[in-house]
Every structure is written in structure tokens, then in C-alpha cells.
Structure 1
């Protein structure tokens, strides 16, 4: 039995690798979180006799199976929890022993992989990265070809800045962050020299927030005087915001920050300081090449999950002091931090290099003369470890075969709607992995129900950033140019708290994730990043906050913000923001059209409407407004309007009017109105698409009932950190419950979940229970 290891940042990504390598019939041996991602051990089902037996039962087994069903009608079915617990016990039986076997089996089979593993480990690369890479090493390659294959793999996956021109743009605000002593101030001076050469000294401004280290701001002032560049010292967010807003829009701002240990709680405070600057600040993490790999991993993890705007990349410093370069490159790959520059000395400005991925990999793989690593195993060490490790392959294969025989029986016992084959369950689990909303919900469900699970400060912020990255990657891979962000408020009946969620959808209406929320209680306001305040923001301020946070995290993906309500004052303020938005408004709203005041209701009677003939192609949904897509037709009209106010310039917007019409009798079911603001320079969105997005906004209102049901299923929160994470988990599970009902690709999952519930078809009120059944089943099979 050949077992392979697959590693991805999410379960969905890892499962996609499994299906590509082993096909849809692959057997999952184990599924667990390691090193900030998900590791899956899997094998080809054809290598397990029990799996083939399950798919092709003996003729005599059919009557026996039917008899088992008749017996089930008389006796009460076993409790689902007990059945799923038994499946989970089967899954856990192999996990500990498989870990050593898989890797040692690959190493024994491919001696070249052993040599590469030992060599790359001595260059500072992590075992996690090497295993993920070398498991795909073609076995037929010789030593020289294998090394070239590794070089190509590293170059392909190493993120680097595309060009210096893409970074140095007028109006750039750049901040260096990182622990104490990594060379931030000197590196900032080198960057300042580059900026002065490009723009001139009057277009560059230096800032420092480091008022603790003795001589820190004096050092920066010396550099500023030498380059004739203005230097400002700020101590808090108010001073920072004042300076930032006082700088001309075309000036480049470079910010030096106090060095903070990755274990210091002030990391989050510094992130909040930069986030409140009043201007988008790109943060670069400075990685000390002379640090150990584990230290670099801890630094990157801390600053990546500090609750601030996402890191734009990193700078590798002190390369001249480092013995090996694998550690910082490994960290950049695993945390997806594009390398902007490499600092290799103290000279300003000479010792700062812009390097390509190929140059960086060459430097990392270069064997220095006389170098003999003391802290990495030699080839002899590895050989001894391979000989002593591992369990009997025959014993593990027997355990896997037993699991394949028993699992179908347990699945049938868990179903109240007839027997379920293992193949049907596998296919449904694979379908869940293909839907981002469901895949992320599964990760939440598994983590929240893990034994001895503990939630640390910043856990919700970390997961939220991951949800945003996954959504951006989804639209990028689908060659889509933007994300839809639907903002909606929710206040459970009788509750004193109110939540505001930001739902992410693809332009086709596919539910993706919920990376941001705000929560208001009688005592405080807070958001998913862990930012808290005793003062409750106004609706305008709250929406501004959400739009700014998401716009900063989504770069370079464009966002279209969709919300309901507002006022002329709010719309005027939002029109000044660099953002596209679509606001659903009442029909009696006062607008200016041509030479006089009017309302959407009155204006719509004068407009020509156009049909949307390809509705199913524009929105990949089963229903709209509780009606099948084939039962309704959408007609839209668009007309330019203005917001006018004395002593102010008029604001130009587009009025979108949408009519929902019943196909069978032509009756107008509902008329909706919205104002569209196109940001200068952004891609213009077709009015027909905007009309579809208006309908999608109405669907979000259906999620309120689902959210109340989901939240009651989660375990009790024992701390404020758990409450933050549980609220984010409830929102993502709610979105997945809606997606289970709405996505055409989920029809197979709906059919299976209905059988698990003992129902002929899945209805809207059953989607939460159905999702939970599927998540428990998927976890038991993993």
C-alpha cells in the first residue's frame, strides 16, 4: 500500500492536490493541522482490497443488506453521535503510526531524495517545506537533475517583488516592522536614499514611532539631514494621523517603528497604530537572515496575525552575517511574503539589493567552502533514523482494509433514508471541498470540536485574514476581476447585541467567506481584529471602518461594496472614498435629475427597461427570493442622477431600477432601487450585473434565521477570545448553510444530506442540520 502526503494552507487546497494526484477514489488515511496548514495522508483506493470490495459487492450481499434495512425499521436506529464517534475512532487508529511510515517509505524508495533532504536541511530549509516538496520529486531523476528540479520548484514558489517600479509610486506610505535589532532603521535609510534618487528630497518624508530606544530618532534625524529629508517623530495614533494627513498626496512616507519581540503583546498595539494612520500604509516585515528558522517562523506568525493590515511582504536583513539563507526564504514561501529587498551590510545606501527569485535561490543553495553544518543531521544520521523508525507496512495495511470494510456499514446505520455507500460519501465530501464557503466552515467545525482546543488572543483576527486571502485567491484563479462585499446588520430578537457582517461573494454569486464583522453590546464596540472601544460608532463610521479594512486587505483585488440604506450625507461622504459601492435605497429618496428634483419611484415611470435573458449564467444560484430562477424574469433600467447640496459640488451617481417579474403571468412582484458610485479609474460594471447584485443583496436577509440556528450549535465560550472566534465561526457556518441550499454544484450533497435526515428533499429550514451532518460525516471519513 503506497501512502502519499499532501500539504495545503486549507483542507480544500490539500484535498485538491489529493484528487489531482490519486483521483476521486483516493482513500484518506488522516487529516490534521500542522505548521499553519493542513496535512492529508492518502492512498490510491485500488491498492486496498477492501475498497474494491465495497464498490463491487458480491451478489449474495444484496438480500442480506436488504434484510438489514427491514430489521432497522423495527429496531430504533443507533444514535448518530455514537455512530459518528465509532467512525472517528476508526480514523484515529492509524494516524500516529502512519506519520513515520509514509516519509520513511518515500526516503527508502528514493535515495536521491534522502541526499537532497539532508542537503537542503543543512541550508536552513524546514522539514515541513521539504516534505511537501520532495514527495513530488520524480523518482527517475538523477542527482544533478533532481537538484535542478528542486531549484525550479523553489524559484516558482518563492514570492518576490515584481519590479521596483511597482513599489515606488507617488503617495507610497511604507512602514518597516519587526523585532529589535534586525536592522530596521538602517534599512529604512537605504530605502530613503532610493526614494530620494527617484523623486527628490522634497517628495520624501521620514517618520519614526520609536521613542523608547535611546538615540533611535537621533539616528534617523542624522540620515534625514544628510539626505535633506524632513523627519517627524510621533508618539501616538493622533500625532501619526495628524502628520500623515498633513503630508501632500504625492509625497512618499517611510516609517520606522520600535522593535518589538514577537512574543510581546505590544505587537498588536503597533499594528493598530499603523492601521489608524488615516492613509493606507504598506507594512514590510524585516527578517534577520542570521536568526534560526524556528525564530523566523515565530516572528512571521506573530506579525502576520497581529490584527493589522496584511503584510505586503518582507525585507531580508543581515545576509552578510548569516551562514545560510534557507530559513528566511522558507519563511517567505510558507507565509507568502514577497521579498522586496535584501540587506547585506551596514553601508547606506550601497548595501541593499533587489534580487530575483533565481538569484535568491542560487544564494541559498550555494555551498560555502569549508562549511560543515553542526546543527543538521548528516547522511549517516539519516540512514540510522530510517533503519530504526517505522512500523510494519503489513500491519498498517490490514488496519486500513478493516476500516474500509466497517465504514460502509456504519454509514448505512447512520442514515435514516436508506443505505449509503462509501463512494457516495466520498463524492459528497469532495464536493464540499470544492466550495470555499463549505471548506472553510469545515475547518472551523473541526477546530472548535477538537479535544483540548484552546483559543489564544488574536485567533479570530488570524482566521479572518485567512478567509480574505482564500476569497481573493478564489477569484484570481477564476480570472475574475473583483469581489462582491455585501454588508448587513443582524440583531437577534430579544438580544442586546447587534452584529454587522461583511459577506464575500464572487461575481457569479458564489458564497466565499465572511472575513470581517463588528459587534456592539451595551458595554462596548469591537471587531474581528480585536479592536475595542467604549464609544459606539455611527452607522456611517461603522461602514467606513469595514470598507477601509477590507479594501486594504484585498489588494490588488477590487471590491464592490453593497449595502442597504444611508442618507444623502452618507452617500456624499462615501463618494469621496476610493471605493466602488452600490446602495439600495427607498423609492421616495430625493434625487436630482436633469433640471429638477425627483424620486426613484417617479423617475422609473419614464425609463426604458431591458431584460436579462441569461440570468442563470450570471448568477449560479438555485433560487432568488424563494423562487426558482426559471420562474422569474429581471428587468432593469439605468439613469444618471445627482446628489445636490448648497455650497457643494454635485455628486454624480447612477440610479439602477430593478423589477422582478413572474414569468407565468407577467406580474411585477417587486421593484428595487439602488445608487451606484464608480470610483475614478475603476472598471465600469455593466448595469445588468448590478441588477443581479441587487437581488443577491436581498438573499443575505435570509441568512438571519440560519445564523440564529447555527449559533445555538456551537460550544459555550469560556473567554472573550473564544467568543470572538465563535462569532466568526457561526457566520462562516451560516454562509455555508446557505451555500448548501443555493449552489447548483451542491445537488449531490443536498441529496445525501436529505437521506441522512430521512427526508426526500432538503428544504430551507433543514439546511443547518444538513450541513452539520455532512461536516460530522466528512470529519469521520478524514
Structure 2
């Protein structure tokens, strides 16, 4: 028996080499894929087929003798008597060895596929085990997240300690309370630092004194006249401006209702410039009818001037305007035109508390050159902390006129005072007392 190993790029080429060298009677012993060459780390290796074949050496040695015997047999056949004619088609005898060899070739070709299928079965089994036991997957992930949480927490704690340098331990609770209610960390630090400079470190332990000073410092940073809508000696024209959706229309109605409640003989007129929204005009018309006050619709600066002249004896003229984006230059120019006219307007910028602090500051900066005389805060019932109000007001330096928290007209509107603002900012709640609202008035947010 002679064994020999053959290598080729494909199985077909390897079998051809076996047949060419060992003959058709060679038996395939084994076949497999191997990597040849490769260079550094096997990066340039090539996949080859390795076939091991065997052949009986006695069969190979007898091959020449078989050829001589075949020649002699042919000579004898030529001198022998003629045989009977055979049928045209002879049945072919099956060759069991050939059939075996063919099956072996097919099995050898399927070996790589069997290996791949086995790998797929192992992967499927692994995935099923992970589904049955998700903790195997989630456990390491939880561990990594916990480590990340610890790292971030330590970084924040370090940053907090660094930021509050100069504050004694007795004020840390006050600092953290202000920051928790949304007050800017630097503003809170500066405020408490001024208290340390006033009291000295010896008196910081006096909690009542510290609390009073915190309230006092916060009130000093704010401005709120707290005048309301009482009887006036001269006509006051209040125009509400601001972005869309902050509640200008409903706030105008609340102001009219407040004026009527506080001074029943006070003459109030509503004027709307918001002709873009039919619903806004109709909403004010309903309010005006309930309050029994006039409503005017103006479509131009001249219309507005004419309306004011028609009601020259009114105590309050309350003007509703269309919402303007801070980036709406054309709309802003219209407001500038109104302010440059002959009317003495008091502009109240309406800001909604749920808006992000950065958005609030953008609106303030855009409208400040109008100019803005007062700020009205709306939708206070839609947020839980009010530190952003303090941040915006302390930077803008604009007084606050009114606070609105709810949809009731006019009950959910109160006159702003510095003490009330500080109570909100320190988390002492809204506390607007309930009272009967105007019946039959529909729709509208603040």
C-alpha cells in the first residue's frame, strides 16, 4: 500500500492530481483544508485542500504485465472461431468501487460545510442560554454603569467643592437648597459669599439671621413695584408683547378682570392687534362681553391711534399683540413702529415659566431694546422650581408686574412683589387663593 499527500487550491484539482499519479484505483483516505504561507502572523496565508490517497503497489507493478497479456489475448482472439453475434446493447455491470469512491468524494467536499454548521449550532446554543439567563449579559453591563456612576459622582462632588470655595460648612445646606431650586450655582455662591462678608464666620451659626439675610439679598436683586391696577390719575396704556404661546391673550383678559374687581368704576378698554388668529379676537370678545367693557380691533398703527383717541377718558387701555418669534425681524419692526409713535406705551414682556432659561434670556435680549418696562410671568403652575426666574431677573434687571398660574380669569393672576418672588424661588409654593372665576368664558391659556 502506497500513501501520498496532495495539495491543491480546490478539491477537484487535488483529485485530478491523485488520479494522474496513482491511477483510477487510488483510494481517498482523508481530506481537509489547511493554511499555507502567511508571513507575519499569518496575514498573507492561503487556504489549500490537502488530500491523502492510497493505492495498492502490487496493482501498479502488474500494470505492464497486464498490457503484454492483453496483447497475447488479442492474438488468440483473432485466431479463434467467430463467436455468436451479441445484442447491440449489453447491460452494464455496476462497479461498487466506483460508487464508493464517488460517495467519498462528496463526503470529503462536505467536510468544511459540516464544520461551519457545527459552529452555527454552537452559536445558536450560546444565544439561547443568554436569553434564558439575561443576567449573564446584563451583569457586566450593570457593573460598568455602576463604575461610571461612581466616577461621575466623584467628579461632580469635586467640582462642587471647588465651586463653593470660601463658603463655611454652615452655608452648604443653603447653597445646595438654592441650586436644587434652579438658582444658578455661581449666583448662589456669590449671594452666600456676600452674607459671609456681612456676618463673618462667627455668626454663620445663627440660622435665623442667615435666613433673613438670604431673603434680603434675594429681594435686593429683584424689582417688583407691586402696584396692581388701582385708580390712576392719568391714562395708562399697557401693551403685552412676547413670543407665541406664552398666554398673552388670556393674560390681557385677566388684567381687565382684575381692574374691574379692584375698582368697579375703573374704565378699561381692550384692544387687540392679533388679527392673525380669529380665535384670539373671538376669545377677547367673549371676555369683553362678560366684563361689559369695550373691545377694539386695530390692524395698523393709525388704527391703534384712532382707538386710543376714541377712549381718551379710559383709565386703562390693555393691548393684545400677535406672538412674535425673537427671530421675526418684520414683526419686531412693527412693534418698534408702534413705540416710536405718539402713544405713551408701557410694554409688558410675557414670559412662560416652562421655557428653558437659555430661551428666556434670548427673548429678553431680543425685546429689551423695544424697550421693555415690565415682565409678566405666566404658566407658573406648569413648573415645580422657580430658580430660573431669579437667574433671568437678576441678569435682566427688569421689574416684574404680575404672576399668572392657571386658566381662571381673573383669579389666577396676582400682583408681583419681591417677597412673593423670593417665596417662589425658595420653594414655598404658589398659594394663589381660590375664588369664583368668570363663568362662561372658554379656552385660552394664561
Displacement after TM superposition at 1:214 (Å): 4.2
Question: 2:21 — aligned with what?
Answer: none
Change (3 A) 1:268 1:132: farther
Question: 2:389 — aligned with what?
Answer: 328
Q: Is the 8 A contact 1:284 1:314 kept in 2?
A: yes
Change (3 A) 1:248 1:332: same
Change (3 A) 1:297 1:116: farther
Matches of 2:361 and 2:170 in 1, distance apart? 28
Q: Is the 8 A contact 2:271 2:297 kept in 1?
A: yes
Q: Is the 8 A contact 1:317 1:342 kept in 2?
A: yes
Q: Is the 8 A contact 2:271 2:320 kept in 1?
A: yes
1:226 aligns with 2:287: no
Matches of 2:406 and 2:276 in 1, distance apart? 25
Displacement after TM superposition at 1:128 (Å): 4.8
Q: Is the 8 A contact 1:173 1:253 kept in 2?
A: yes
Q: Is the 8 A contact 2:259 2:266 kept in 1?
A: no
Q: Is the 8 A contact 2:402 2:414 kept in 1?
A: yes
For 1:342, which of 396, 400, 403 is the aligned residue? 403
Displacement after TM superposition at 1:131 (Å): 4.1
1:290 aligns with 2:354: yes
Change (3 A) 1:176 1:252: same
Matches of 2:163 and 2:183 in 1, distance apart? 21
Question: 2:224 — aligned with what?
Answer: 160
Displacement after TM superposition at 1:159 (Å): 0.6
Matches of 2:288 and 2:163 in 1, distance apart? 59
Matches of 2:418 and 2:266 in 1, distance apart? 33
Question: 2:181 — aligned with what?
Answer: 123
Written as runs of structure 1 = structure 2, the 5 A alignment for 1:398-417 is none
Displacement after TM superposition at 1:142 (Å): 3.2
Deviations 1:672-709 (A, max 9, x none): xxxxxxxxxxxxxxxxxxxxxxxxxxxxxxxxxxxxxx
Question: 1:142 — aligned with what?
Answer: 205
Question: 1:757 — aligned with what?
Answer: none
Displacement after TM superposition at 1:311 (Å): 1.8
Change (3 A) 1:132 1:166: farther
Displacement after TM superposition at 1:329 (Å): 3.0
Secondary structure, counterpart of 1:332 in structure 2:
helix
For 1:243, which of 280, 287, 307 is the aligned residue? 307
Deviations 1:53-78 (A, max 9, x none): xxxxxxxxxxxxxxxxxxxxxxxxxx
Secondary structure, counterpart of 1:215 in structure 2:
helix
Matches of 1:168 and 1:280 in 2, distance apart? 15
Deviations 1:580-604 (A, max 9, x none): xxxxxxxxxxxxxxxxxxxxxxxxx
Secondary structure, counterpart of 2:409 in structure 1:
coil
Aligned length: 266
Question: 1:352 — aligned with what?
Answer: 413
Gapped regions of structure 1 (runs ≥ 5): 1-99, 369-782
Matches of 2:177 and 2:231 in 1, distance apart? 35
Matches of 1:346 and 1:297 in 2, distance apart? 25
Q: TM-score, normalised by structure 1?
A: 0.32
Change (3 A) 1:162 1:227: closer
Displacement after TM superposition at 1:156 (Å): 2.4
Displacement after TM superposition at 1:218 (Å): 1.0
Q: Is the 8 A contact 2:230 2:259 kept in 1?
A: no
Q: What is the aligned-residue RMSD (CA, Å)?
A: 2.9
**Which structure has more RCO (C-alpha within 8 Å, separation ≥ 6)?**
2
Change (3 A) 1:109 1:321: closer
Question: 2:423 — aligned with what?
Answer: 362
Change (3 A) 1:353 1:199: closer
Question: 1:532 — aligned with what?
Answer: none
Matches of 1:166 and 1:198 in 2, distance apart? 6
Written as runs of structure 1 = structure 2, the 5 A alignment for 1:163-182 is 163-164=227-228, 168-182=232-246
Matches of 2:194 and 2:300 in 1, distance apart? 50
Secondary structure, counterpart of 1:135 in structure 2:
helix
Written as runs of structure 1 = structure 2, the 5 A alignment for 1:195-234 is 195-198=259-262, 200=264, 203-234=267-298
Matches of 1:324 and 1:164 in 2, distance apart? 25
Larger Rg: 2
Change (3 A) 1:202 1:343: closer
Q: TM-score, normalised by structure 2?
A: 0.54
